[in-house]
């Protein structure tokens, strides 16, 4: 690996960017006006390139050449100044990408060291599990104490949407692709000349695509749009990082003589305000929250479906399984039509959707695949039901019976398979993709993120007043503090259904409807 440095990465990216910009000097495009008409414009004026050349001369030769930059800028018209600013902005973006890549490279190099030297146990710059555990051992902690501390640790990552966030998902996706290409560039010494040329062309293509894209969001995103942006972050980053995080913990715990984390351990939890933050935002209604929850459930079950599809290839084992595995396979066998002896089982019927893999069923002597087929079917039917609900269409009654309503409905069969594999000597398989999926389900649940519904205090008071008056308990806002905090009055809310037809008052329409947020 050639590694590379921050400065060399930045110079490489800047050189590629300026090369493609100079290659398109004077190119004319048609730009839309606000009134709907179009105007012909020069994509990159010559004046912008002159300023860049003068700036490079100033950087190389010193302050005495800065006056040339000033003279060129003073002669520019508004459009030329705008384009020049855009070029400088893109150069800064390239610098940011180079720095982000270099930070990751430096971190990986630090972690890859066989033993990290701990000179000061109070050093707060130690950021790896390896270094942190070594530091804890030096302070007198035992490996078992460290493991217990990790098991008991709870981290909730909360995604919020900031109103000043102006970057579009299109730009963020391109930047992520650029970082992936830079990882490949680190190993350029191992590439053939043709592969290196292809890599450079990919980098320039991404840069040109960024240049030709309006990178600033011109309209304020809707609450659902904010939630979609959050899903992009989860899918592109957190989804991959969660199993890696747990695997690193397992390796470092075993390195100090402790066991890895148990499969039921759940350290991380994803939460989100997007689609549920109503505090001062009248656009986030109960219907918007319901739509966002439905969308999140639709998307996460699609990700689970893909993982289960991959597991169908991996867990092809036959032979002995645990008793609870046998019982579970027998329990789900009623989901499928009875097969003739010698034929495949778990054959998807006409209402099971179109599946690319194992569309004709699996062999009867493959118990793990039989259970995975049942999980895949529930994932498919959950996705179809959420799609219908999002579109305002009726949900199929047969499908609704198999909709996943809690994360335990997924983790239970997955953990049964995990324990069966461990019991029968297949630990190396159990601790692979299957364990990754179990940990993902425990992190993301069946709604990708736990939606935090935030509401201003006046609205809370209105709802509670309506509820307590409906129960004949008076106004909640007039109660003393001790009575408000008591739990006895809340238990009386179970009478709401029985009294709903004869109560003295009914909840106001604005306080009636609220979406159900699954766990």
d(CA 25, CA 14) in angstroms, rounded, equals 16
User: What are the chain's domains?
Assistant: 1-110+171-216 (no CATH), 285-451 (1.20.1440.90), 458-512 (no CATH)
Which one of 16, 101, 102, 162 is the catalytic residue?
A: 162
Q: What is the reported pLDDT for 469?
A: 80
Q: What is the reported pLDDT for 497?
A: 42
Q: What is the mean pLDDT of each run of 10 residues along the chain (519 residues)?
A: 74 89 67 52 73 84 85 86 86 92 83 55 60 88 94 90 66 89 91 93 92 77 82 87 93 92 91 82 83 93 95 92 94 75 73 80 90 93 93 88 92 96 94 96 92 79 81 81 67 52 51 49
What are the b/e assignments for 282-294, b being 16+ CB within 10 Å? eebeeebbbbbbb
Contacts of 31 (CB under 8 A, 6+ apart): 38, 39, 40, 41
- Say what the pTM is: 0.77
Q: What is the reported pLDDT for 36?
A: 53
Q: What is the reported pLDDT for 194?
A: 94
Burial of 247 per CB tally in 10 Å (0-12, 13-18, 19+): middle
Q: Tell me how far the alpha carbon of residue 361 is from its chain's centroid.
A: 32
Q: With contact defined as beta carbons under 8 Å apart, do 15 and 199 qualify?
A: no
Q: What is the reported pLDDT for 397?
A: 85
Active site residue 162: yes
* Selection from 273, 279, 261 nearest residue 435 by Cα: 261
Q: How many helices (H) and strands (E) does the chain have?
A: 22, 5
């Amino acid at each position: 690996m050639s590694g590379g440095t921050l400065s060399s990465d930045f110079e490489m990216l800047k050189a590629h960017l300026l090369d493609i910009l100079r290659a398109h000097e004077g190119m004319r495009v048609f730009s839309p006006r606000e009134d709907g008409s179009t105007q012909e414009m020069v994509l990159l004026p010559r004046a912008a390139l002159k300023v860049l050349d003068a700036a490079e001369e100033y950087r190389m030769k010193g302050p005495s050449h800065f006056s040339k930059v000033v003279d060129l800028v003073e002669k520019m018209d508004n459009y030329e100044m705008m384009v020049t600013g855009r070029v400088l902005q893109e150069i800064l973006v390239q610098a940011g990408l180079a720095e982000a890549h270099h930070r990751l490279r430096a971190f990986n190099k630090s972690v890859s060291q066989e033993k990290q030297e701990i000179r000061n146990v109070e050093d707060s710059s130690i950021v790896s599990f390896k270094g942190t555990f070594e530091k804890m051992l030096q302070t007198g902690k035992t490996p078992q104490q460290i493991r217990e501390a990790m098991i008991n640790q709870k981290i909730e990552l909360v995604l919020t949407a900031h109103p000043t966030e102006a970057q579009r998902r299109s730009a963020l996706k391109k930047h992520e692709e650029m970082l992936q290409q830079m990882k490949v560039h680190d190993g350029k010494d191992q590439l053939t000349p043709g592969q290196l040329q292809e890599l450079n062309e990919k980098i320039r293509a991404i840069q040109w695509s960024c240049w030709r894209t309006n990178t600033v969001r011109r309209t304020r995103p809707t609450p659902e749009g904010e939630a979609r942006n959050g899903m992009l972050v989860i899918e592109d980053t957190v989804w991959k990082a969660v199993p890696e995080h747990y695997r690193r913990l397992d390796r470092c715990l075993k390195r100090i003589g402790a066991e890895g984390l148990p499969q039921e351990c759940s350290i991380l939890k994803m939460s989100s305000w997007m689609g549920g933050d109503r505090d001062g935002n009248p656009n986030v209604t109960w219907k918007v929250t319901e739509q966002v929850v439905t969308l999140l459930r639709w998307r996460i079950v699609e990700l689970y479906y893909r993982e289960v599809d991959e597991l169908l290839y991996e867990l092809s084992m036959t032979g002995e399984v645990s008793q609870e595995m046998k019982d579970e396979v027998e329990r789900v066998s009623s989901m499928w039509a009875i097969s003739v002896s010698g034929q495949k089982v778990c054959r998807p019927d006409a209402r099971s959707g179109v599946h690319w893999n194992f569309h004709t069923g699996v062999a009867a002597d493959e118990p793990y695949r039989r259970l995975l087929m049942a999980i895949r079917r529930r994932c498919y039917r959950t996705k179809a039901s959420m799609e219908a609900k999002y579109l305002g269409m009726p949900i199929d009654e047969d499908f609704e019976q198999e909709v996943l309503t809690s994360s335990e409905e997924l983790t239970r069969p997955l953990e049964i398979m995990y324990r069966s594999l461990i019991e029968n000597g297949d630990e190396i398989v159990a601790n692979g993709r299957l364990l990754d999926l179990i940990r993902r389900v425990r992190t993301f649940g069946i709604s990708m993120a736990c939606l935090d519904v935030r509401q201003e205090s006046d609205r809370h008071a209105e709802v509670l007043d309506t509820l307590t008056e409906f129960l004949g308990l008076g106004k909640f806002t007039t109660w003393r503090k001790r009575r408000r905090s008591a739990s006895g009055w809340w238990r009386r809310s179970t009478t709401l259904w029985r009294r709903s037809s004869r109560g003295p008052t009914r909840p106001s329409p604005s306080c009636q409807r609220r979406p159900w947020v699954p766990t």
